[in-house]
Structure 1
C-alpha cells in the first residue's frame, strides 16, 4: 500500500470524531515572550490517556476485521501507545496484551493496567520489548499493533495537523516530536497537502537521533537515560522514513537540559503537564531559537504522562539554574552567635534559608573554625549575588556551590 493521502487522513478524522477529544489549540503569550515567536499550543495531554496516541490506536483497531478482533491484539510501547491501545481495545471489546520495557515509569504501567490490558514487562528498551510482543502475537494468534510503522496509525496521527490548520491556517511552522516517525509522518502528509508552504520541523533527543541519522545516511548512536523516553527509539520506521525524507524540512536534536527547561516552562508558565517527549517541540525552540523567532509556530504538547517525582526534580533543578535556589559554603569562626548573625543577615537581605549543614571536623578548616553549608532561596541571580556580597562584606568567605 502506498503512503496515506490527505483523503485517508480526512477519513480517519471521521473515525475519531466523537471518540477522541478534539483538543484545544490555544495562543501561549508567555511562551511567545520567552521564545520571540508567535506560539500556539495543541493540548493533546488532555486526552483520556493524556497523549495523542489514542488517534492512531483507534483508527487501527477499527480497521480490524471481525475475525481479527476476536483474536485480540498485542502492542509494545514505553507507555502512551500502550495506554491508548488498552483504553480503546477495552471500549471496543477487544482483548489486549501490552509489552512494556522494564524501565517504563510506574505511572504509565499502572495506567495501562487500569485501562484493562494485560501488561507484560520484558526488555530494557522498546526494541527488546518488540521482540517479546512479536513472540506473543505468534504464540497467541494476536494481531500486532505497531506504535508507529503502520499506515492506519499514521492516518490517525495526521488528524492533529488537520485540526491545527483548521483552527489557524496562518501557521508558518509545526514543531513535532519524532520517535519512530508515525506522528510526524501523518502530520506532514496532512499539513503539506493543506498548505505546501508550511515548514514541518521534527525534534529528536540527541541521545536517540535515529531518524536524523537515517535521513543523513549515518549510523545512529543511541543510548542513555533520557527524559523523553517516549521518543527514545533506536530505529526509524520503514514506512515512516520515506515520508519524513520527502516532507519534513528539518530535524532538530535537543539536549536533556532543553527538555527539562521545556517541561518546566509548560508547568510554570502554561500551568499544564508535559512529559519529556511532549515538551520536545518547545525544547527545539530553546535549542535553535533563530529558526523559530518571529514566526507563527504550532507546538504539539503530545503527552503529559510524567512521573511526579521526576517532575518535582525538574522544578528544583530549574530553580537552581535560574539561581532562585543557591548553595554556598562559608568558612567561619567557631564561636557563639556566628550562625545567628549569618541567618539574620540573609534574612535582612530578603533571602530564605532552606537548609543548613554545620561541620567542625573538616580537615581543611582550622581547629577553631567550622564549615557552614547553606542553601537559600533568592529572587534571581542578581539577588543571590547581593546576599553573597553582604556576607563577604561582613567578613565571611563565601564559596558558591552547585545546588543539590
Structure 2
C-alpha cells in the first residue's frame, strides 16, 4: 500500500484540474456570494468586553479589513461539497474496475453529508451503496441518504464505532470501501471547490488577488484538496475547527507535531466530529500549503450561523460557518489580517461547506 507521504506527492493542482474535468457533468458550479454587511461587521474591532474571559483578554482588539467571498457549497447537490469527492471517487472506480464495482457495490461511513453524496453518486451510476451512519445523525441527512436508495446501517457516533460497523458490513457484502475523506480521489474531488472559487473571484474582483481561503476541517478532505489547488499560488489557505470536547484535533496535532488519532466530541458542528485522515494530515501539516488552523467555541459558531441566516438569508449548517467564526472572533487571525493586509485588507474566500440542517435543529440551537 502506498504510504500517505508518497501519495501526497501526487496531490497536485493538475490532479485537481483532471478531477474537475471528470465531475463537471455531475455537480453544480455553486455561487460565490458577497455581503457588505458581514464585511463591515468583521472589519469592526471587537469590544474589550467581548474579549473578557477569552484567550485574548487584555489585548487591544485588532482592526482588520475583510472583503468576504462566500463559496456556497450548501447549494451543491445533496447540500454539501461532498458530492464532488463522491462522484470523482466512483467515476475513477468505474474506470479502473468497471462491472466489478456494480456487482459488489460500495460502502462508507458518514455523519450525513458524505453519506448522501455517495448514495446519490451510486444511484446515478447504477452502483449499490451501503452507508454506516451514527444513530444521532440529523434526521434529514438520514432520510436524504435513504431517498437515493442506499441501505443505511446505524452505529455509534465516534469514528472508531463507525469503522467497526463498516468492517462488519464489508465482511457480509464484499462492498468496496469509499472513505469519507482519507482518500486520494476524494481529496481531488473536494479540491475542485478551490478551483471554482478562484475562477469566480477573478471574475468578480478583476485585478485584485484572492489573499486567503479558509475552510472547515473535520476529516480534512476539503481543506487538503483546496490547499492542493492553491499550492502553487500566492493565496494563503487556513483551516477552522470547533474547540468543543477536543474537536480541534488538527489544531492540537499541529501544536504537538503529531496527528491526533481519535476524537470523541458532540460539537454542534456534527460534520467535524472526525479526526484528520492520514493522507489529509500530510497536506495540512505542511506549512507551505496550510498556514494555520484555528478553533472556535460553540457560541461563536452559533453567532456566525445567526449572522449568515439573518443578514445573508442563506441557510447553512453549523459546520459550514466555523471559518467565518474564526474571521469574526479569533484575534490571532484577525491581527494577521490587520498586519499583512494593512489598509487594503484581505479578500478572503470562506467556504460554506453545507446546508443540511432542519428548522427544528436550528430552532433548538437558538432557544
The two structures have a TM-score, normalised by structure 1, of: 0.75
Partner of 1:283: 325
CA distance in 1, matches of 2:181, 2:336: 27
Q: Extract structure 1 runs of 4+ deviating beyond 6 A.
A: none
Unaligned runs of 5+ in 1: 317-404
Partner of 2:221: 182
Q: By how many angstroms is 1:291 displaced?
A: 3.9
Partner of 2:346: 295
Residue aligned with 2:320, SS? coil
Partner of 1:108: 141
Partner of 1:374: none
Q: Match for 2:36 among 29, 43, 46?
A: 29
- CA separation of 1:304 and 1:140: change in aligned 2, threshold 3 A: same
Q: By how many angstroms is 1:186 displaced?
A: 0.7
Partner of 2:77: 48
1:213-253 CA-partner distances (Å, limit 9, x unpaired): 222226858444211010111x3211110110111100001
Residues 265 and 273, structure 2, Cα contact 8 Å, conserved in 1: no
Partner of 2:296: 254
Partner of 1:19: 26
Query: Larger % of helix: which?
Result: 2
Partner of 2:205: none
Pairing 1:77-116 to 2, within 5 Å after superposition: 77-116=110-149
Unaligned runs of 5+ in 2: 44-65, 203-208, 339-344
CA distance in 2, matches of 1:127, 1:115: 26
Residues 30 and 269, structure 1, Cα contact 8 Å, conserved in 2: yes
- Is residue 2:274 matched to residue 1:242? no
Partner of 1:60: 89
Residues 285 and 292, structure 1, Cα contact 8 Å, conserved in 2: no
Q: By how many angstroms is 1:40 displaced?
A: 0.8
Pairing 1:254-333 to 2, within 5 Å after superposition: 254-288=296-330, 289-292=334-337, 294-316=345-367
CA distance in 2, matches of 1:83, 1:231: 16
Residues 102 and 124, structure 1, Cα contact 8 Å, conserved in 2: yes
Q: By how many angstroms is 1:290 displaced?
A: 3.2
The two structures have a TM-score, normalised by structure 2, of: 0.82
- Is residue 2:154 matched to residue 1:121? yes
Residue aligned with 2:68, SS? strand
Residue aligned with 2:285, SS? helix
Q: By how many angstroms is 1:279 displaced?
A: 1.1
Indicate the structure (1 or 2) with the bigger Cα radius of gyration.
1
CA distance in 1, matches of 2:193, 2:313: 22
Partner of 1:202: 239
CA distance in 2, matches of 1:266, 1:185: 25
CA distance in 2, matches of 1:191, 1:18: 23
Residues 100 and 126, structure 1, Cα contact 8 Å, conserved in 2: no
Deviates more, 1:237-246 or 1:291-300: 291-300
Residue aligned with 2:108, SS? strand
Residue aligned with 1:251, SS? strand
Partner of 1:232: 273
CA distance in 2, matches of 1:227, 1:23: 25
Residues 158 and 264, structure 2, Cα contact 8 Å, conserved in 1: no
Count of aligned residue pairs for this structure pair = 313
Query: Larger % of strand: which?
Result: 1
1:307-338 CA-partner distances (Å, limit 9, x unpaired): 3222123345xxxxxxxxxxxxxxxxxxxxxx
